Structure 1
Amino acid sequence: MEQRSFSSDLLSRAQYRRHLDSDSALVLVASDGHQHVLGAAVLFFRKGSGVARLYSLATLPEARGRGIAAALLEAAVTAARRRGCRALRLEVRSGNSAAIGLYERRGFHRIGHHPGYYEDGEDAWRYEKPLD
């Protein structure tokens, strides 16, 4: 899924396995009747921190436009709230207007800029959503 969703900064199978077994990470999966994975979100939680991080949100190209990313994002917000987090943060490619629109429509606010953040040199915007 990572290879079909992103051109760089991919999570490996080993990283996914490690995150699945970690107490400080949560992997959320969207499937089509539990048969085909359509998308996934990876969240990180730092002990003693009230801020969760949405590390990755991926949707297969053929599944886009069906509300899967929005559903995964809402599930991530719910999971962060359940863990007692006060905010959810993420980074997004500065040129990814579809993702930026999704985040802004869901109450995320731009809080920072990271020049050259991604492996290919593209900048990132940092966003945050208060969860109180």
Structure 2
Amino acid sequence: MTLTPATAAVRVRRAELSDLDDLVALEQATFDSDQISRAQFRRHLDSDSARVLVASANRRRFLGTAMVFFRKGSRVARLYSIASLPQARGKGVGTALIEAAEATARQRHCHMLRLEVRTDNHSAIRLYERLGYERLGPVKKRFYEDGSDAFCYAKTLD
């Protein structure tokens, strides 16, 4: 199933087991800490409480990924992780992944999507704010494995 892309060139779909090597490689290339392991990706691909999405220019050109978590009985979804290849940044990949994450949350009858972002990740913060996310509460001190702080953002979904 292809979800609505931000641009015609970027397609977002549910990740498959055959994407596992690409997911792990992107995770390792993107994050120095707080990496999702191969075993965790494998578990989330089969989980009813998670949805792993991949963005590509075509079936072979892997550009990025996002992971959304759902809690039973909750109408709030969590954008747990989002990553794109460095050469794909600024080309609509992040927007396409976030829009697909929002669509997935709506399909699961969630009314809100929440996320955390490093306080020093200015490009991600600009993207989230441009897409209508609002900062909530105080800074989450030492939220990340490396001791970095996080902002919490949320968006009400219609």
What TM-score do the two structures reach when normalised by structure 1? 0.97
Structure 2 letter corresponding to 1:36: R
Q: Deviations over 1:75-108 (max 9, x none)?
A: 0011101110010000000000000000000010
Counterpart of 2:38? 13
Counterpart of 1:117? 143
Q: Deviations over 1:28-77 (max 9, x none)?
A: 10112100211000000000001000000000112111110110000001
Residues 1:108 and 2:130 aligned together: no
Counterpart of 1:73? 98
Structure 1 letter corresponding to 2:54: V
1:28 pairs with 34, 48, 53, which one? 53
What TM-score do the two structures reach when normalised by structure 2? 0.82
Shift of 1:23: 0.3
Which 5+ residue runs of structure 2 have no aligned equivalent? 1-25
- Aligned-residue Cα RMSD (Å) equals 0.8
| Runs of 4+ with >2 A deviation | none
Residues 1:126 and 2:152 aligned together: yes
SS at match of 1:121: coil
Which 5+ residue runs of structure 1 have no aligned equivalent? none
Q: Percent identity?
A: 61
Counterpart of 1:59? 84
